[in-house]
């Protein structure tokens, strides 16, 4: 496979289908229902802890009020108690273990040689960076299955650094970290 095709394939597997699909209450007019989805805007906020980030542009179908604050608190409500799937946790642990081993190996080489080989730690960064897409792709692969048999995950936003998805076929919630 050519590099370009691979890159396109990687991007596709990482792509999120933005959306919402869950009921919200409008504080202005009292409407309760699924808001109007008006596309999404990129956000570059780096979330910490349980801080929600909503990318979807959501509007009240009755009075057109922006429902971003309501969506934020709803996201926290829905996903706070959802745990990261075991397959995802294993991947994270594996990635950290490999990183730690590389760092230890680099330090050892530096300590033992105390020479030009001290540049070795930098060389260890490259394989680690090369592993990130592989790792992210394997995390993304978790989204390709659901208990209902026909997974269709909608990306609802982020809780801290976790990606929050909902299968629009069965309503299953999925939280992933990469
Ligand atoms: Zn309203
Ligand atoms: Zn499902």
Secondary structure of 38-100 in the HEC alphabet?
EEECCCCCCCCCCCEECCEEEECCCCCCECHHHHHHHHHHHHCCCCCCHHHHHHHHHHHHHHH
Whether the Cβ atoms of residue 35 and residue 24 lie closer than 8 Å to each other: yes
Average pLDDT over residues 155-175: 95
Query: Band of the pLDDT at 100, cuts 50, 70, 90?
Result: confident
pLDDT of residue 116: 63
pLDDT average, residue stretch 101-115: 78
Q: pTM value?
A: 0.82
Cα separation, 90 vs 115, whole angstroms: 37
Determine the distance separating the centroid of ligand 2 and the alpha carbon of 20, expressed in angstroms: 15
For residues 33 and 61, is the Cβ–Cβ distance under 8 A? yes
Given a contact cutoff of 8 angstroms between Cβ atoms, the answer to whether 34 and 23 are in contact is yes
Q: What is the DSSP letter of 149?
A: S
- From the CA of 135, how far away is ligand 1's center (Å)? 42
How many DSSP H helices and E strands does the chain contain? 4, 8
CA of 123 to the centre of ligand 2 (A): 43
Alpha carbon distance 18, 37 (integer Å): 9
Task: Say how many C-beta atoms besides its own lie within 10 A of residue 130's C-beta.
Answer: 9
d(CA 35, ligand 1 centre) in Å: 9
Centre of ligand 2 to C-alpha 22, Å, is: 15
Q: Is 80 exposed, middle or buried (0-12, 13-18, 19+ CB in 10 A)?
A: exposed
Q: Identify the pLDDT of residue 9.
A: 66
Cα–ligand 1 centroid distance for 63 (angstroms): 4
Find the helix or strand (DSSP H, E) in which 113 lies: helix 86-113
Predicted confidence (pLDDT) per residue in 67-79, tens digit: 999 999 999 999 9
Average pLDDT, integer, range 80-101: 91
Given pLDDT bands bounded at 50, 70 and 90, which one contains residue 12?
A: low
Q: Report which of 18, 68, 13 is spatially closest to residue 178, judged by C-alpha positions.
A: 13
pLDDT digits (tens, 9 = 90+) for 121-147: 667 677 777 788 888 889 999 999 999
CA distance 169 to 167: 5
């Amino acid at each position: 496979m050519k590099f370009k095709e691979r890159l396109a394939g990687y991007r596709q597997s990482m792509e999120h289908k933005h959306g919402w699909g869950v009921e919200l209450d409008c504080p202005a007019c009292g409407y309760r229902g699924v808001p109007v989805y008006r596309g999404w805007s990129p956000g570059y906020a780096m979330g910490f802890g349980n801080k929600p980030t909503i990318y979807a542009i959501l509007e009240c179908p009755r009075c057109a009020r922006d429902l971003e604050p309501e969506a934020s608190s709803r996201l926290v409500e829905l996903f706070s108690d959802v745990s990261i799937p075991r397959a995802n946790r294993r991947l994270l642990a594996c990635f950290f273990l490999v990183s730690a081993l590389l760092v230890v190996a680099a330090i050892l080489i530096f300590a033992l040689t105390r020479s030009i080989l001290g540049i070795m730690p930098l060389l260890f960064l490259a394989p680690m960076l090369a592993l990130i897409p592989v790792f992210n792709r394997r995390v993304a692969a978790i989204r390709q299955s659901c208990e209902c048999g026909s997974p269709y995950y909608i990306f609802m936003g982020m809780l801290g650094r976790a990606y929050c998805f909902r299968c629009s076929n069965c309503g299953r919630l999925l939280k992933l970290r990469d």
